[in-house]
Amino acid sequence: MQSSETLGADYVERARQLGPMIEAAGDEIERRRDLPELIVAALAERGLFRLLLPRSVGGAELPPTAYVPVVEEVAKHDASVAWCLGQACGCSMTAAYLAPEAAREIFGGERGIVAWGPPGPAEARMALGGYRLTGTWSFASGSHHATWLGAHVAVFAEDGTPRLRPDGSPVFRTLLFPKRQAAMTDIWRVMGLRGTGSDSYTVTDLFVPEAFSTTREDPTLRRERGPLYAFTMQCLYATGVAAAASGMARAMRVLAKSSITPAPSRRRYLQAFQDGESVGRLAVESNRWRLSHDPDQVQNSPRIGVMSEVVQ
């Protein structure tokens, strides 16, 4: 088996090879407000939607330090593609909390891609063998090319009584269902990240079996024992977003530096630009270093070991 460092470098190279194709599709991505099928297929064929997916389901299960450079490399070429990639990879960590059969049904194929939005006006009523789900969720990045959707939702008893935790807070679960069962609404008309297709979706009284429901953050319910899944999904979401921002910043710095050839009358400004560029480079690279090294320190900490023992 390849080491995580070698495997990570392999995925970075896969992303780098896609760079010209992604850049060539930039205008189309902006115009369509989603990712063209050619780009989605290329990402899927190279396994880039499976970077954080467990190996047991055919994923790469990359540690954060290997995951970050892959998202950065994609972000150098297009922000929307990198954003969708990070969101899909974050959603795939749900597999660590699902029964193996359900995880394989959702993520087992090459195009097993999940999208979801933050909690919206919704409820999940308990029913025999699962839940009856009704609600609307917005800002589901990558929803155009996703095959499954997720709903983060408060749980109610059959009689409508809210289910509560011991501390009085509502019980929330994540329910997963095929995208074809939802009604999509085009709401993503924005200036930035236009290509993410972050639209809304609605279901009404949809039955979702218990096997396709989980919680995202309770470590005692985690089925996968790898240290990657001791991180919360929110942590890995933040890592993906930061990696996308870092990749974009590095590309913009290079572009700005290469685009400026001051006329003789403006050469007095060149030193000021170079000073500013140097400060920017230091800021980007220091943040990139921290992004690439802090997760390792967390992953090797005693707390992660304790969490792994709890799961085992």
- Is pLDDT at 1 greater than 80 in this prediction? no
110 pLDDT band (50/70/90 cuts)?
Answer: confident
| Distance separating alpha carbons of residues 183 and 112, to the nearest angstrom | 19
Mean pLDDT for the stretch of residues 213-233: 85
Fold category of 114-217 in CATH: Butyryl-CoA Dehydrogenase, subunit A; domain 2 (2.40.110)
- Contact between 196 and 142 under an 8 Å Cβ cutoff? The reply is yes
pLDDT digits (tens, 9 = 90+) for 245-255: 888 888 877 77
Identify the pLDDT of residue 237: 86
| Distance separating alpha carbons of residues 124 and 160, to the nearest angstrom | 9
Task: Report which of residues 191 and 296 the model is more confident about.
Answer: 191
Task: Report which of residues 214 and 291 the model is more confident about.
Answer: 214
| Distance separating alpha carbons of residues 295 and 312, to the nearest angstrom | 22
- Contact between 179 and 149 under an 8 Å Cβ cutoff? The reply is yes
Identify the pLDDT of residue 257: 67
| Distance separating alpha carbons of residues 62 and 11, to the nearest angstrom | 10
- Is pLDDT at 10 greater than 80 in this prediction? yes
Percent of the chain, pLDDT > 70?
80
Mean pLDDT for the stretch of residues 100-128: 94
| Distance separating alpha carbons of residues 67 and 219, to the nearest angstrom | 21
Task: Report which of residues 105 and 311 the model is more confident about.
Answer: 105
Helix (H) or strand (E) holding 308: helix 302-311
Task: Report which of residues 103 and 110 the model is more confident about.
Answer: 103
Tell me, rounded to whole angstroms, the distance of Cα 111 from its chain centroid: 15
Token digits of residue 72: 């950065």
Burial class (CB in 10 A: 0-12, 13-18, 19+), 240: buried
Query: Residue 137 carries which side chain, given as an amino acid letter?
Result: W
CA dihedral (83, 89, 92, 93) positive or negative = negative
- Contact between 52 and 67 under an 8 Å Cβ cutoff? The reply is yes
